[in-house]
Structure 1
Amino acid sequence: MDFAISPEIEDYRTRIARFVEDEIIPHEADRSAYDAHGNIDETLLGTLRDKAKAAGLWCLQLKPETGGKGLGKVGMAVCYEEMNRSIFGPVVFNSAAPDDGNMMVLEQAATDAQKARWLAPIVDGRVRSAFAMTEPGPGSGSDPSMMLTKAERKGDKYVITGRKWFITGAESAQHFILMARTSDDPRRGLTAFLFDRDQPGWHIDRRIPIMGPEEHGGHCELVFDGLEVDADNVLLGEGLGLKVTQMRLGPARLTHCMRWLGLSKRSVEIAQDYAAHRYAFGERLIERESIRQMLGDLAMKIEIGRLLVMKAAWALDQGSYARKEVSMAKVHVANLLHQAADTGIQINGARGYSTDTPLEWIYRYARQARLVDGADEVHKMVLERFLSKEHRDFWNWEVASS
């Protein structure tokens, strides 16, 4: 692959960097800028979103006909990394989970009528969305074949019963993509449905308290006790739910990594700045070999993460599912984010543990990275399966056509 980015992407990156520096980061130090769950206050968010739209930096990841700029995954890797230099960044540009992944899968899989009903309002920023797949045990987690939520066809409707949990953004979502079982077929037994929060037959049982700051709408447990969904609101087709999950989850895992690289770099930036100005025992911290090794190690691991992410993004742009590449990036960058935040706190000392910097926010947020969209261990198992199947070809190079 060619690692040179286009002038257009560089222009977007530069403009995003300037917007984040001037318009978003200054609010991080203002406690009134946060909501009760550690995310950006809704009123402030609305103001910043209007500015992002006016600056032409809104929904860059989508196709022009959908309302975006058609960056492709490589362009997203460059821009998302820059957006998440601030803890508030992605949601301002309408590039945050779960809306980001939901918009991309609806853009790819929905009919024109479904796009008008379910996608366009998310793109406009008028509503938020959620993806309801994970279930309490013994239902599906990383293994969708264990799904217990059922959808029974009755005429031109499906009646859905079951339970989901840790559904990100559910409390604030208006539009939902719901995975449910429609048959026992191991490959075509799941179906994706679209429904609105105002439909009867379901409710939020609880918003689950978590360790870190939350996305808007939290992480909720949902109960379905007779939700009726019209057949017109099946996404892609009955029995094609696994395909929908493949279309959504692979790119969504990678966009997490893109954003986490931005947070990792910000952690290093804060640590560097403090080490350059803090004196102890007659010298600046940055002059100590131990500090320089800590920062150098992070710089190397961030660049490794960027290369893994970029290779996976390139493969997705070529039409591949990039399962190997995405899994490698997911494991590496998730662990990197935790290390970057931890090292930043260690170098800053008590200042890093306080709320004077975003480091403690990033640290609490980082622990979920090794769990969401597949735990480290699941992705390592995926990689081992490829290794057992491909042997030495696991590390092959793509050969350009002559």
Structure 2
Amino acid sequence: MDFILTPEVDYLRKRYRAFVDQHIIPLESDRSAYDAHENIAHDALEGMKAKAKEAGLWSPQMPKERGGLGLNTQGMAACYEEMNRSIFGPVCFNAAAPDDGNMFVLNKVAREDQKDKWLQPIIDGKIRSSFVMTEPHPGGGSDPSMIRTKAEKKGDKWIVTGKKWFITGAEVATHFILMAKTSDDPRKGLTAFMFHKDQPGWKIIRRIEIMGPEEHGGHCEIEFDGLEIDDADRIMEVGDGLKLTQIRLGTARLTHCMRWLGLAKRSLEIAQEYIERREGFGIKLADRESVQLMMGKAAMDIEIGRMLTMKAAWKLDQGDKARKEVSMAKIQVADTLHQAVDTALQLNGARGYSKDTVLEWIYRYARQARLVDGASEVHSMVLNRFYTAERQDFWRWGV
């Protein structure tokens, strides 16, 4: 395993760090830069997008021939970490969920004409997108085989009926990737489709309020009542929906980890700045052994998360599905983010609990990390299946 960055990627990583420090972090202290759901407001975002494009930092994960920078997964890991040192960072570079995962899977599996129609506008930043899979009970959540939303073939069209919820970004999305049931086959029963927001036969029932700050477009409950989709807008073959989901979620889960590591590092930055100047009972907080133990443990946990994330990225770049490695990274980094920001908040005291820093924002956001793209317990079950099958080979070395 080779985690050494090329000079080109390291240069790009440093440019992302400098851009975030110079342009994006200063926005966090400007309340007018926030929208009603505590994310970056539209006008501020459009300004940052224009600057990112001008700086040559736009769509780093997409091919150069489509306007991206052509980074592989390891390059993404290094750069995404730098982007999300700001709570506003990734979306300014077109590297935020759910667009990031949607672009990845469409670029990988869609036909060229489908890429021109459905993918290119997302790459260009002209529209936003959404991935429509999760359903209310008794439908599919972490187990896609439980999906109940149906697509029935009639001529050259598919008619969709059913309900979805917690669909990220749905309120502002224009292009949607929909997972629907097309047969009762447990492995080949799902099919993926594209649809446009202006097509009739579907509606947003509500935007579900959550405890933390929200991605643009929120988390919505959706109802389908006769949505018609042309067969030409089916992605991959009939019955390949589960395969598409697995292709998308592997990398998407890992890009979450990449970004969360940036938030964890930023939390420690805020803590370090404060403990180095704050005194109590005649001694700086930074000189107290108890504080040093807290900071040292958090720094170590972040590094463990980085190594697991980079290992999974390396395996994906080798063509491996890296399911075991992605699950380990997902569990470790989700826990690490929550613990790192909790540590920083504790060390900042009342200041950390206030809105004088972004720690309270990160703290509320961090709690969802152990839930999104598969709860930690689901990933632990995946790891147990690997261990049961592999035993001592679970820890094998690459040869």
TM-score range, shorter chain: over 0.9
Query: Does residue 194 in structure 1 map to residue 194 in structure 2?
Result: yes
| Pairing of 1:361-372 with structure 2 (within 5 A) | 361-372=361-372
Match of 1:217 in 2: 217
C-alpha separation in 2, matches of 1:79 and 1:214: 22
* Aligned-pair CA distance for 1:69: 1.3
C-alpha separation in 2, matches of 1:102 and 1:66: 15
Match of 1:111 in 2: 111
Match of 1:252 in 2: 252
Match of 1:206 in 2: 206
Q: Which amino acid aligns with 1:256?
A: H
Match of 1:122 in 2: 122
* Aligned-pair CA distance for 1:60: 0.6
| Pairing of 1:333-372 with structure 2 (within 5 A) | 333-372=333-372
Q: Which amino acid aligns with 1:287?
A: D
Contact 2:3 2:314 in 1 (8 A): no
C-alpha separation in 2, matches of 1:345 and 1:13: 27
* Aligned-pair CA distance for 1:155: 0.3
| Pairing of 1:163-242 with structure 2 (within 5 A) | 163-242=163-242
C-alpha separation in 2, matches of 1:22 and 1:362: 20
CA deviation map 1:127-174 (0-9, x unaligned): 000000000000000001111000000000000000000000000000
* Aligned-pair CA distance for 1:66: 2.2
- Detail structure 1 runs of 4+ shifted over 3 Å in the superposition: none
Match of 2:36 in 1: 36
Gaps of 5+ in 1: none
* Aligned-pair CA distance for 1:68: 1.1
1:58 alignment partner, SS class: coil
C-alpha separation in 2, matches of 1:51 and 1:256: 24
Match of 2:141 in 1: 141
| Pairing of 1:88-99 with structure 2 (within 5 A) | 88-99=88-99
Match of 2:278 in 1: 278
Match of 1:155 in 2: 155
Match of 1:76 in 2: 76
1:170 alignment partner, SS class: coil
How well do the aligned residues superpose, as a CA RMSD in angstroms? 0.5
C-alpha separation in 2, matches of 1:126 and 1:249: 24
CA deviation map 1:328-362 (0-9, x unaligned): 00000001100011111100000000011110000
Report percent identity of matched pairs: 67
C-alpha separation in 1, matches of 2:120 and 2:361: 32
Q: Which amino acid aligns with 1:12?
A: L
Mean CA deviation greater in 66-75 or 157-166: 66-75
Task: Report the TM-score when normalising by structure 1.
Answer: 0.99
Matched length: 399
2:32 alignment partner, SS class: helix
Match of 1:293 in 2: 293
Match of 1:326 in 2: 326
2:315 alignment partner, SS class: helix
Contact 2:213 2:361 in 1 (8 A): yes
1:178 alignment partner, SS class: strand
Contact 2:122 2:129 in 1 (8 A): yes
C-alpha separation in 1, matches of 2:63 and 2:320: 19
* Aligned-pair CA distance for 1:42: 0.5
2:191 alignment partner, SS class: strand
C-alpha separation in 2, matches of 1:186 and 1:368: 29
Q: Which amino acid aligns with 1:294?
A: M
Contact 2:40 2:88 in 1 (8 A): yes
C-alpha separation in 1, matches of 2:344 and 2:106: 38
C-alpha separation in 1, matches of 2:206 and 2:66: 34
C-alpha separation in 2, matches of 1:243 and 1:180: 13
C-alpha separation in 2, matches of 1:150 and 1:220: 19
* Aligned-pair CA distance for 1:275: 0.2
C-alpha separation in 2, matches of 1:99 and 1:193: 16
Contact 1:66 1:107 in 2 (8 A): no
C-alpha separation in 1, matches of 2:49 and 2:392: 48
